[in-house]
Structure 1
Amino acid sequence: MRLKEIEARLAQIRNELNTRAAELTAEEITALETEVTDLQEERTQIVEQAERRNKLLARIAAGEPIDDGVEGEGTTPTVLRNFKGAAGEGDDGDKYGSMEYRKAFMRYVCRGAAIPTEYRADAVSSTTDVGATIPTTVLNQIVQKLESTGMILALVTRTAYKGGVAIPVSTVKPTATWVAEGKGSDKQKFTAAKDGMITFAYHKLRCAVAVSLEVDTMAISAFEAMLINNIVEAMTKALEQAIISGDGNGKPKGILNETPAEGQKLTSLKPAYADLIAAEAALPQAYENGAVWCMSKNTFMQYYGLTDSNGQPIGRVNYGIAGKPERFLLGRQVVCCDYVPTYSTGVAENTAFAFLFNFKDYVLNTNYAMGVKKYEDNDTDDKVTKGIMLADGKVVDKNSLVTICMGKAM
């Protein structure tokens, strides 16, 4: 698929810039800039074409007449269908999406001019819990609140083991020995630790959104494009919250509910340069590759504001190919998320507000991929869209976990 090829090439360019930035010449950088611009434009066109195709398929499924470009007997000319009088309907039979109504709405907002009677007299506009009198094209843009999700889920290890199966985890590694010529070495038995068994259970995650028949008849166009995306986003947020702080009861067990290895739970009364030094010292060298910081953006900015003896900030924020910020503390990447408590004087004692961890050491087991289903509730006439998945998750190796917790005030 072309879209996947574009994403793969952009990722390749990003990696090349991160690893060979100092070696690239001005001509090579210019060529990469041109290629990235072309790829992004092509990606935008592909996405827009897919959206137009989906909308057209939805209209066909709904039984709406599709203009084939031939205006003969029994058909309404395209111009008249799209731009009827003020009392007529606009695109897709939605008069609240017509240009006439959009202009009337602008005059109402900007100058206080009354909405024409033919729009206010319609019974459906009396329902107050939906912005039906807002032009549909505007409502499509303001219907959802932006939330930050998807940073954690892509980092963890994904598996599909059958629920209830115990997976052994060994804490013993074989060792190699130097031997003389013609000599052998002792055989070493590879055994699992006594308590080194991990068992994944079945935890059901469900998200259902109901749209009443009344709302469906007047404002469904504002929701249908975002409904499934919102369900997926809600389930992603629930999974990520469980990965970070889940208690393991009816949900995955989170990273912060694991007990760090000895000497890897640190305390601090406030963000300080010494915290970062102590955490790096506590992280075993064998686990430092792949380990990243995880904290809220607010906490990161408090560390970012710290300076060294020369007055230079210890934090760094770079911007990648897509313009997204990439944060670092002492050269180690920082993943900011909203699921870790933000440091403040009100944080409870022993509450972790930052931690080091290699997210590959967390396994999210999903035996049933996320599915989306639509159905109609016969009792209420609501149209329901629901998403369901079975998931469990655990830290399989906690040696890369170093936490910084709120210390006890003196």
Structure 2
Amino acid sequence: MSKHFSALEFKDAEVTDPVELVTKSIDDLTKSVDERLKALETKGLDPKLVERLTKLEAKANRPGAAASTDEAKELERKSINAFMRGEPLDGIERKSLTIGGSPTTGADLVAPQYLAQIITKLVQFSPMRAVASAMGVGTGKVFLPIEGNALSGTWVTETGSRSETNPDFGQVEIDAFEHAAIVPVSRQLLEDSIVDLSGYLSNQISKQFGKAEATAFVSGDGNGKPTGFLNTPSAFDQVVAKQDGSNILDKLISLFYALPDAYASQGVWFMNRTTQGVIRSKAVLATNGILWSDGLADGTPARLLGRPVYDAVDMQNLVGTGSPVAATYPIAFGDFASMYQIIDRVGVQIMRDDFTGADNGIVKFRARRRVGGKVVLPEAVKLMKATVSGS
């Protein structure tokens, strides 16, 4: 009895190699497709259909076209297992494991890393607390007695008449003002954050409150905030210099010696870094660095005419703005501890409020501070006034 087999069956054939079996099957398929295409062409087949069949034929002739998706997955599985065991990989296995590939080719084996810290920006503020006087008070208003006219005596003869004399006094009123902020944060963010968010917020509140009060101590207008010493520059004796810096060294020497020695011996220079750069460049060129000297150790201020120079970001620039160009007050020198008084009523307080925003899943950090400041003895400090003409 004769047997009938299809074109893809080779049970009675001598070919037993699976690769040869697949190759012969592809050859037979290709031959069959060619015969059908020729037959159809003679019947006037649609050219588009002929193009599609041609592409299918080309695809079937590609090496490895008969490989199934299951075979590819098996290769990926073997590659990952070999990688995890530390075994060497051949070329194909190595290509199947890539970081930028799909999860099945090893992308899930690489996890990102997050640091449990926040990179914070620099917060700069004038070091008024380092040079002024500060004291804690138990009330919201303080009156400081200030000496007015001093008593005076007269020279007299042995039996001559003596005149009476008494000193007089004034007083400076300093109010404590409140500075406050509310920081709302979602409860889930506080719970899930990998950083200490509460500690970060506390640190930022302290820095920003310090910056705000330092600015007020320098230029505050006294309206709901401390009164800065530059709010009323007319209260101080002044030395006038040109804004182009052409005579600034001579004027610095005049400013230094315009202050009584008792104050000058305790005096400090207050200016921003831009002004410092102008002075230093001219001092080095003119005096070979004699007027200006750097600090002897890290963290210690530079010295100008032997007295410390403090970097005060809230001080005005040497050159003014506007038209006509406005006068500025870029430099102050003197005994700030005698000139300016800071009062501390309440330090920085931070209260965590878990209730008022609870309906919306919000936790509020409420911060406040009560502080005041005012000029009490303007004679202890001299200002440099900068104008276009220098007069």
Which range, TM-score by smaller chain? 0.5 to 0.7
CA distance in 2, matches of 1:375, 1:299: 45
- Greater Cα radius of gyration, structure 1 or 2: 2
TM-score, normalised via structure 2 length: 0.62
Distance 2:133 2:103 in 1: 58
Alignment equivalent of 2:254, drawn from 261, 264, 278 = 278
Question: In structure 1, what is the equivalent of residue 344 of structure 2?
Answer: 366
Instruction: Note the 1:42-191 alignment, pairs <5 A.
Output: 113=100, 135-137=114-116, 140-142=117-119, 144-149=120-125, 151-159=127-135, 160=137, 162-175=139-152, 187-191=164-168
Distance (whole Å) between structure 1 residues aligned to residue 327 and residue 343 of structure 2: 29
- Matched with 1:333 is 308
Letter in 2 for 1:173: A
2:195 matched to which residue of 1? 221
Q: 1:378 to 1:183 in 2, by over 3 A?
A: farther
**Cα distance in structure 1, aligned partners of 2:276 and 2:206:** 28
| Structure 1 contact 148–338 (Cα < 8 Å) conserved | yes
C-alpha change, 1:114 and 1:268, in structure 2 (3 Å) is farther
SS at match of 1:293: strand
Give the corresponding residue for 1:395. 375
Structure 2: distance between partners of 1:184 and 1:337: 55
Give the match for residue 57 of structure 2. none
Tell me whether 328-337 or 171-180 shows the greater mean CA deviation: 171-180
Amino acid at match of 2:205: I
Deviations 1:80-125 (A, max 9, x none): xxxxxxxxxxxxxxxxxxxxxxxxxxxxxxx9858989xx99xxxx
Letter in 2 for 1:295: M
- The answer to whether the 8 A contact 2:332-2:381 is kept is yes
| TM-score, normalised by the number of residues in structure 1 | 0.59
Residues 1:164 and 1:311: Cα distance change in structure 2 (over 3 Å): closer
Confirm or deny: 8 A CA contact 1:260 1:402 kept in the other structure. no
> In structure 2, what residue type is equivalent to 1:248?
G
Name the CA distance, whole Å, in 2 between partners of 1:372 and 1:242. 21
Query: Counterpart of 1:403 in structure 2: which amino acid?
Result: L
Q: Measured at CA, do residues 388 and 183 of structure 1 come closer, stay the same or move farther in structure 2, by a change above 3 Å?
A: farther
- The match for 1:384 is 364
Look up the match of 1:85: none
Percent identity (aligned)? 22
Counterpart for residue 52 of structure 2: none
Instruction: Give the superposition deviation at 1:402.
Output: 1.7
Residues in 1 aligned to 2:118 and 2:210: alpha-carbon distance in whole angstroms: 22
Query: Corresponding residue for 1:295?
Result: 271
Within 1, Cα distance between the matches of 2:103 and 2:190?
A: 23
Deviation at 1:168, TM superposition (A): 2.8
- Is contact 2:239–2:254 with CA below 8 Å preserved after alignment? no
Report the equivalent of 1:324: 299
Give the structure 2 partner of residue 357 of structure 1.
Answer: 334
Q: Decide whether aligned partners of structure 1 residues 331 and 112 sit closer, same or farther in structure 2, where only a CA change above 3 A counts.
A: farther
2:220 aligned partner: 246
Give the secondary-structure state (helix, strand or coil) at the position aligned to 2:199: coil
Structure 1 unaligned spans of 5+: 1-110, 122-132
Per-residue CA shift, 1:204-227, capped at 9, x if unaligned?
111332222342243262423322
Deviation at 1:393, TM superposition (A): 0.9
Partner amino acid for 2:218? I
- Is this contact kept in 2: 1:166–1:199, CA < 8 A? yes
Give the whole-Å Cα distance in 1 for the aligned partners of 2:101 and 2:353.
39
**Distance (whole Å) between structure 1 residues aligned to residue 262 and residue 102 of structure 2:** 69
Quote the offset at 1:262 in angstroms.
6.4
CA contact (8 A) 1:365 1:391 kept: yes
SS in 1 for 2:206: helix
In 1, are the aligned partners of 2:190 and 2:197 still within 8 Å (CA)?
no
CA-based RMSD of the aligned residues comes to 3.4
